[in-house]
Structures are given as C-alpha cells and as structure tokens.
Structure 1
Amino acid sequence: MSLDGLTFQVGALTVTVHQGRVPEGADCWDANWLEVAAEVDLPGQAWVRATGSFLMTSELAGFLTELRRMNETLTGTADLHPLEPNLRVRLKCGSTGEILTEIELTPDHLTQTHTFKLQLDQTYLPGIIRQLETILERFPVRGRPD
C-alpha cells in the first residue's frame, strides 16, 4: 500500500512514510518499523536522499513528545535519534525564538556523512507537530519491548 504524501518536514528535510515494514507484525520490533524516504533539498547547494526501513513509530512518538514540550516552553531541545544511523535531527531553542536545527542524513553511513545546519523559528513547530500526529494516527506505536 502506498501512502505518498504522508510526510513531515523540518526545514529542508522531508520524510515520507510509505508503509509499515511488517504491517501484520505482532512483535513490537517488527510492527513499528516504517518504510520511509528522507530527503534534504537545498536548491543549488545540496541534495541527499535515503530510503528504507530506518525509522520506527516509537522514535517518531518520542520526537513528537519533545516537540510538544518545546512548543509549550520555547526552551530545550527535541531529538529524533533512530536506532539506524541514516537520519538524525536535533532542534534547539535559542533565546530569541530561533530554532537551531541540525540534520544528518545519509543513504550509506559506512561511506558518507552529510550534516546540515539550518535556522528556523518557533512558528514551524505547530506544523511539524500536526504532521507527526497524522503519521502516528495512521501508524500508532504497537506493543512494548520486553
């Protein structure tokens, strides 16, 4: 099943969820992996894309929790730090409402490193939160690790 358009964006990063890797999985480890495409596109500067099963619903849920807290307090950090090394995202609130954003994305962590440092502001947070909520409504966290 293709779910083109089920995405979240953080600045120049777009992550599209296509499907669950094991949609009928009963085990929390199998059931929560997502097939995704992640892309950073900075026209005229850089373009990097990675695809595969390198993101879990539980990781998105943790990121969403941190983003909600950041949006309420306009302080702190929010990290998306999956088990797989293809994607890392860190947002850190600055003192004047700016959000310093660091994105690491690579299709092959053994041979490549791509790091992007961007500046956003707090007005981006509600949109990212809504996008993650939509993804997690479709792909809720299932089961618990034992």
Structure 2
Amino acid sequence: MQVVAFQGRHSSLKMTIRQYQFPDIADDAWDANWLVVEGRVDIKGRKWTFRDPCLTTFEAEHLADWLEEVSTGEPSEIDCLFTEPNLEFRYQKNRQLRICFALESGPPGCGTPVQWNERSVLVPVSSALATAARQLRQQLGRFPPRGPSPRPGR
C-alpha cells in the first residue's frame, strides 16, 4: 500500500489509511465514513506512532485537494482542519507547511505542556505535496465515501 509521506528537514510524517472505523455501517453519512489513520512521526529524532479514526473519507478528499492547491502556489485557505482535531495542516507564508498533532495523534505526554515545535512537522512547499495528494487519493480508492454525503453539494 502506498504511504502518504511528508518529509521536512529534520522531521517527517508517514500516514496510511488502514480501514473504515465501522466497516459494517454503510448508510449513515458520518459513521460509515470514519477512517482509521495510522501515522509514524519523527520530529528531530523523537518518534511515535498513532492509530486513530481521525479523518472521514470526505475530509481526506478535501485534504488531497488542498495539498494540490498548496503545491502550486498560495492556497485559498491557509489551513486544512477536520472534525476531530488530531491533525492540522497549516500553510505558512515562508512557503512551509506545518502539520500539527494533538490528542491521540500527539506525542507521548501530549497531555502535559509541550513546546509547539515538539508536536509539529515543518515541510517545504514543493511538488512533493502533489505527490502526497496522489498517494492519498490512491489510498482513498480502497475507501470510497459511503452513504449519503453530509456535505451539501457533494
């Protein structure tokens, strides 16, 4: 399976969609579309993993669209946020992408005060983000949206 990879100068995130959280539910717009995401994070040698239902199929599609937009220039929105605040993607004016981790996706000890840079990865804006968007779409091919869309116009 293709891994969605984000590589910074001293940090990285490798992300994989593992499964639907509720594989037997197909007709509920929300519960049918929660995805279990597995991540491997390395921030300056501090490594951890997480496995949590922190994105929906439609949020992952939105992230792929947003990553493509960021890779080609300044995005129309500076951040890509989700229902569950475990992951946050934020475009910075210095042409970097900051990926932040919280709650179940955060580093061990995240419940205690930690420096912001100890729970975020900085990635340069480049064509590698378009590659990450393609990798994410490939993974979503195995996990298409199910049931009625909770987003108007979709």
TM-score by length of structure 2 reads: 0.72
Percent of aligned positions that are identical: 27
Which of the pair has the greater relative contact order for Cα pairs under 8 Å at 6+ separation? 2
Are the counterparts in 1 of residues 70 and 91 from structure 2 also a CA contact under 8 Å?
Answer: no
Deviation at 1:15, TM superposition (A): 1.4
Are the counterparts in 1 of residues 102 and 119 from structure 2 also a CA contact under 8 Å?
Answer: yes
Counterpart selection for 2:100 from 100, 103, 106: 103
Aligned CA RMSD, in angstroms, stands at 2.6
2:74 aligns to what?
A: 75
Q: Please show how residues 1-146 of structure 1 align to structure 2 within 5 Å.
A: 5-11=1-7, 12-25=12-25, 26-42=27-43, 44=45, 46-72=46-72, 74-76=73-75, 77=77, 79-92=79-92, 94=94, 98-107=95-104, 111-112=111-112, 114-142=118-146, 143-145=148-150
Task: Identify the structure with the greater strand proportion.
Answer: 1
Give the 3 Å change call, closer, same or farther, for CA 19–100 of structure 1 in structure 2: closer
SS at match of 1:122: coil
Structure 1: gaps (5+ residues): none
TM-score by length of structure 1 reads: 0.76
Q: Which amino acid is the alignment partner of residue 36 of structure 1? A: V
Q: Which amino acid is the alignment partner of residue 149 of structure 2? A: R
Deviation at 1:53, TM superposition (A): 1.4
Deviation at 1:19, TM superposition (A): 0.8
SS at match of 2:49: strand
Structure 2: gaps (5+ residues): none
